Structure formats: structure tokens, C-alpha cells
């Protein structure tokens, strides 16, 4: 390589300290070594890095590019070293968590907050999935851990999963919805004229799953539970919602629960992870969710 990390470090030191002599002092080298490093780099690359203006050495445009991009290389090298140290200690460099849209993100944030107290340096990445998309994310290695996923419909070889909660569903409409004037409990004939709002499965390859309960209605498809709740508040349609996610909306009157002669099944939700993943971070998160389920 014509460009070494050592040369990048020298250019960085010269810029930060303001002179060749000051850079040499900061790097515990003699000034002639700093000068030689720069001259050798110019010779190897065939460019001028510094030009003289009186007694000062000024970076050329090409020199500025080397300095800026060289600093990125130095940062990348530090990251590689840190990652290697983390792997050696058993901690992953990062962990990717796919949270199903039905799961309360605040609960996950509390767990992440506790994890940060460990000061492991592990980077946490969170993405949102829906239904079968949650399992697809872990099967296709987009996620290391899935939280809040529905019961898997197919055999997930190499994937371990455990139930963490059971979801109760409630039929609810916006405060100005016409169904509020109907005789209760509502029948399927009562609900037929209104759009059924469903959350689109986020899977790309797996067979799509759905919690849809009304089969004879036109459909409004949305991408997340937050969008479904917002749509029902606005009266754009109807549907069942997880009771734990609409407590506040029911208290404020934005949503109103109505009895209906169609039962919504109680559904379990799961965490899942690859059994081959032995990292300390994944084990910590799994143990934490196991504790919260006791």
C-alpha cells in the first residue's frame, strides 16, 4: 500500500498541531522523520501535499483530500481494533433487533437502557416488522433477535423461540364513528359497510400472515400498528386493536371500545433467536426478556 496508516497519522498530527515540529513532538519523533514521511508519500503518490508560502507549509487541495480521507481510515482502523477486542471478550460489535409492530417499543427501550448501563460498547440497531416479516428477518440474518413475533406458521430450523406475553384484542372505533349509534352488541352485518383496517405483513418471501377477522369488507392496508390506531381514531375504518396499546386513547376518548358478537382470539407473542448465536449480548437480551415474563 502506498498510503499507510502511519502516513495518515502524520498528516493528522501536522494539521492538529500546526507545524511539522509540533507534530514530531506529539508523535515522539524527530522532525526529520516527519519531513521524510511527507516527502516519501508525495513521491509514492506522485502528488504535491504541501506547498511552501514563506516559512509556512500549506496543504494543497490534494493534500486536504488525503488528510480528510486519511482521518476516516484512522477511525475505521480504530473501529476494527475495538471490534476485535469486543469479539475476543465475547461481546458482539453490534446486535440487530427486529421488533414486531404489535410490541410496545417503550418496553424494549427500558431493556436497552439497562443494557447500556453495562458499558459494553455494543451497538444496538432496531427495526420494525409485521407478522411473518418478523420471522423472515431472523431467518435471513437481518436480525439477531426478534421480539413480539406471532406464532410461527412454519418450521424454523435453527431458530429457538419462547412465548413472552399474550395479547388481548379489543374492537374500537373513533369518537365520531357511525357505529356508536348502533344497537349493541354489534353484528357482522353492522360492520360490513365500513373499511376493515389491517396491517400489511412486512415479509417479502414468506407466506403472508394476517389477524384479519372481517372477511366481507373493503380493506385499508397500513404499514404499522401506529398507523392502524391513527386511522381508526380518524374514523377511516374499523378493527380489533391490542388492548395494551390503546389504553391512553380509550382514557382520552379518542377511541371507544364497543361490544361485538365476534370474538377476537387471544394471541401469544414470542421472542426468537438463532441457536448458533453464542454472543454475550444476545444471551443478555434473551435472559432479560425471560425475567420480565416470570
**pLDDT-based confidence at residue 262 (cuts at 50, 70, 90):** confident
pLDDT tens-digit series, residues 121-151:
889 999 999 988 999 999 888 999 999 999 8
The more confident residue out of 19 and 85 is 19
Per DSSP, 142 falls in state S
Whole-number average pLDDT of the chain: 89
| CATH architecture entry for 94-164+269-292 | 3-Layer(aba) Sandwich (3.40)
Give the helix/strand (H/E) hosting 165. Answer: strand 159-167
> Residues 146-166: what's their mean pLDDT?
88
Single out the residue of 255, 202, 257 nearest to residue 231, CA to CA: 255
- Out of 40-54, 81-95, 215-229, 261-275, least confident range: 81-95
CB contact at 8 A, 290 and 165: no
pLDDT at 176: 93
d(CA 82, CA 93): 8
pLDDT tens-digit series, residues 23-32:
999 999 999 9
211: pLDDT strictly greater than 70:
no
pLDDT at 117: 95
pLDDT at 79: 78
Main-chain phi, psi angles of 162, to 5 degrees: -140, 145
pLDDT tens-digit series, residues 53-109:
888 889 999 999 999 999 999 999 987 887 787 778 788 888 999 999 999 999 999
59 exposed, middle or buried (CB, 10 Å; 0-12, 13-18, 19+)? middle
For the domain covering 169-265, report its CATH number.
3.40.190.290
186: pLDDT strictly greater than 60:
yes
pLDDT at 197: 93
Strands 56-59 and 196-199: unpaired
**pLDDT-based confidence at residue 188 (cuts at 50, 70, 90):** confident
Same fold, 5-89 and 169-265: no
Domain boundaries, the chain: 5-89, 94-164+269-292, 169-265
Q: Does 5-89 carry CATH code 1.10.10.10?
A: yes
pLDDT at 89: 79
Helix ranges restricted to H, 29-180: 31-45, 61-89, 105-116, 132-139
Amino acid at each position: 500500500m502506498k498510503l499507510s496508516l502511519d502516513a495518515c497519522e502524520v498528516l493528522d498530527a501536522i494539521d492538529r498541531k500546526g507545524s511539522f515540529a509540533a507534530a514530531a513532538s506529539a508523535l515522539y519523533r524527530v522532525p526529520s522523520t516527519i519531513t521524510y514521511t511527507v516527502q516519501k508519500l508525495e513521491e509514492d503518490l506522485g502528488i504535491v501535499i504541501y506547498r511552501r508560502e514563506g516559512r509556512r507549509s500549506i496543504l494543497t487541495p490534494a493534500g486536504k483530500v488525503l488528510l480528510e480521507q486519511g482521518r476516516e481510515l484512522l477511525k475505521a482502523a480504530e473501529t476494527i481494533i475495538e471490534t476485535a477486542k469486543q469479539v475476543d471478550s465475547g461481546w458482539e460489535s453490534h446486535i440487530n433487533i427486529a421488533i414486531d409492530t404489535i410490541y410496545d417499543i417503550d418496553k424494549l427501550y427500558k431493556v436497552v437502557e439497562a443494557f447500556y448501563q453495562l458499558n459494553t460498547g455494543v451497538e444496538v440497531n432496531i427495526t420494525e416488522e409485521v407478522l411473518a416479516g418478523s420471522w423472515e428477518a431472523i431467518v435471513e440474518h437481518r436480525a439477531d433477535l426478534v421480539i413480539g413475533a406471532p406464532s410461527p406458521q412454519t418450521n424454523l430450523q435453527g431458530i429457538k423461540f419462547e412465548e413472552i406475553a399474550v395479547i388481548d384484542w379489543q374492537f374500537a372505533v373513533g369518537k365520531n364513528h357511525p357505529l356508536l349509534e348502533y344497537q349493541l352488541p354489534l353484528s357482522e352485518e353492522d360492520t360490513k359497510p365500513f373499511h376493515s383496517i389491517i396491517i400489511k405483513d412486512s415479509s417479502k418471501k414468506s407466506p403472508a400472515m394476517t389477524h384479519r377477522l372481517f372477511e366481507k369488507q373493503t380493506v385499508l392496508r397500513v404499514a404499522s400498528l401506529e398507523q392502524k390506531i391513527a386511522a381508526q381514531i380518524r374514523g377511516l375504518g374499523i378493527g380489533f386493536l391490542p388492548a395494551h396499546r390503546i389504553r391512553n386513547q380509550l382514557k382520552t376518548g379518542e377511541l371507544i371500545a364497543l361490544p361485538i358478537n365476534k370474538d377476537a382470539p387471544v394471541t401469544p407473542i414470542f421472542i426468537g433467536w438463532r441457536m448458533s448465536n453464542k454472543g454475550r449480548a444476545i444471551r443478555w437480551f434473551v435472559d432479560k426478556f425471560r425475567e420480565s415474563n416470570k
